[in-house]
Structure 1
Amino acid sequence: MKQFGHPPANRIRSQQDFAAVYNARQRAGDQNLLLFAIRNQLDHSRLGVSVSRKNGNAIRRARKKRLLREAFRLVRHQMPSNLDIIAIPRPTEEGDLQAYQKSLLRLARKLDQRLPAPERL
């Protein structure tokens, strides 16, 4: 596997996984992003992206999704492992790749400290 690849195993897609992350009610935010997170039983973190219509038309929403996935792909090796993360971009900020990278790292580390330690089998 490539070091900087973004395979389907690193994505949250199912409605049940999204619901589980939202129901955990662990969130952190800044001017660019709002992150929700929960521990998973995997050895890597996964990302889900939710961009509402408040962020603009379909073209702008798709661009924010692409930027968030790319930011996650680039900083994934620096982020805490064992997290399922849902990223929601703020509608008031346009956001760029570097801002999303910094926000993802900082907020994921903050949530990692807040969440209970992973259970070892």
Structure 2
Amino acid sequence: MTVRYTFPRSHRLGGRNTFKAVRDRGVRESRGPLTLWAVRNDLGHHRLGISIGRHVGTAVKRNRIKRLLRESFRLMQHDIPGGYDIVIAVRRHEPMILAEYQKLLMAMLLKAHARLSRETSDASPHTGHRP
């Protein structure tokens, strides 16, 4: 099976209520100018939403950062197991190169995945023996 590196509309989060739900229920990870919230979904694929306010800079700067973040996510979405709804909030910074965003996102996503996996296993009933 070939891996498709696409980012269709169905893989995007939209709407204020959806973003709020992820921020309220999700685990939070921060690295550099980025903060990520992630919560499990039952879709079998990840969905991404980016929140970037006017305080970050001009429209040109904000759009460049969003494009780089989406591209970073698109290239590595298949390296993260599970299906998550992900919201990324951006603080003021100068735009970085693609590889730097990929490194930040991968570190945050792997940490969030580990935390969510641990929470899921902690919530499962304890049987008293190891598998």
The TM-score range, normalised by the shorter chain, is 0.7 to 0.9
Does the CA-based 8 Å contact 1:49-1:65 persist in structure 2?
yes
Equivalences for residues 1-121 of structure 1 within 5 A: 3-115=4-116, 116-117=119-120
User: Residue 120 of structure 2 aligns to which amino acid in structure 1?
Assistant: A
- Per-residue CA deviation, residues 24-82 of structure 1 (Å, 9 max, x unaligned), is 15210111421011111110111100111121011111111111111110111112321
Superposition CA RMSD, Å: 2.0
Match of 1:99, SS?
helix
Identity of aligned residues (%): 38
Structure 1 spans left out of the alignment, 5+ residues:
none
Task: Provide the aligned length of Structure 1 versus Structure 2.
Answer: 119
Match of 2:13, SS?
coil
Does the CA-based 8 Å contact 2:22-2:38 persist in structure 1?
yes
TM-score, L = length of structure 1:
0.88
TM-score, L = length of structure 2:
0.81
User: Residue 24 of structure 2 aligns to which amino acid in structure 1?
Assistant: N
Which structure has the larger Rg?
2
Does the CA-based 8 Å contact 1:21-1:38 persist in structure 2?
yes
Does the CA-based 8 Å contact 1:46-1:83 persist in structure 2?
yes
Q: Please identify runs of 4+ aligned residues in structure 1 that moved more than 4 A.
A: none
1:2 Cα deviation from its structure 2 partner: 6.7
1:113 Cα deviation from its structure 2 partner: 1.3
Structure 2 spans left out of the alignment, 5+ residues:
122-131
Match of 1:6, SS?
coil
